[in-house]
Amino acid sequence: MISEIRPGQFEAEVKKSRRPVLLEFYASWCPRCAMMDDVLEEFESVHRGRIKVCRINEADAALLMERYGIDRVPAFLAFSGGKVTGVTAGVVSKAVLEKLF
């Protein structure tokens, strides 16, 4: 299941997660973000139990976006042990997301 998080949950849900985390920054108005829905669902299904998948709405996450240098959506950050292991943006494949870890 893909979790929708708010900025106040970032520390607990992403940084302190025991599992690696794929975090998507998205916007409801963004057609490219909508194009990634099926890719994210497939990624989550394949890696369920091993990699946690979360989404955060860019409208709520300006400070986090600035902190991690995110300037467009969709953008994806991979975290392991609380550290960023990879970053990508735009419409990408499941294979590209997997290489972030």
CA dist list (Å): 12 to 77, 83, 93 = 16, 13, 28
Catalytic residue, candidates 7, 13, 20, 30: 30
* Vertex 98: Cα angle to 80 and 89 (nearest 5): 90
Question: CB of 54 within 8 A of CB of 4?
Answer: yes
14, 21, 33, 39: which is the annotated catalytic residue?
A: 33
54 catalytic per annotation: no
Tell me if residue 72 falls in helix, strand or coil: coil
- Catalytic: 33? yes
Active site residues: 30, 33
